[in-house]
Amino acid sequence: MKSKTLLTLAICAVAASLFAGCSTQKTRTGRNNSLLGGLVSYNTGSYLPATPNTVDVDATDFLGRVNPSGDELSLGWGALRLQDY
């Protein structure tokens, strides 16, 4: 009985996180798209500096872009950040 309850709760938690959908907010500088409760986030026009506890990858270094777009892809609630600026 106890294992069925725990299994049901685990399935509900996984389903809620997978089917949470996405959230889109329009800001002054662009758009903020968030998937899976912020696990994956994509911002356009975001020129914010990196926080100290973030692994920050600059796409202009390895792609050789001349005109940065200001786009940012954040994974793991900001733990890993790929930016184009």
The domains of the chain are located at 22-83
Tokens of 58: 């600059």
What confidence score (pLDDT) does residue 48 get?
77
Q: What's the whole-number average pLDDT of the chain?
A: 76
The pair phi, psi for residue 30, each rounded to 5°, is 175, -145
CB 50 within 8 A of CB 56: yes
CB 40 within 8 A of CB 75: yes
Please check the confidence at residue 67 and state whether its pLDDT lies above 80. no
Confidence label for 11 from pLDDT (cuts 50, 70 and 90): confident
CB 18 within 8 A of CB 10: no
- Close Cβ partners of 5 (under 8 Å, ≥ 6 residues apart): none
What is the pTM for the complete model shown? 0.59
What confidence score (pLDDT) does residue 27 get?
66
Is pLDDT larger for residue 70 or for residue 7?
7
What confidence score (pLDDT) does residue 80 get?
85
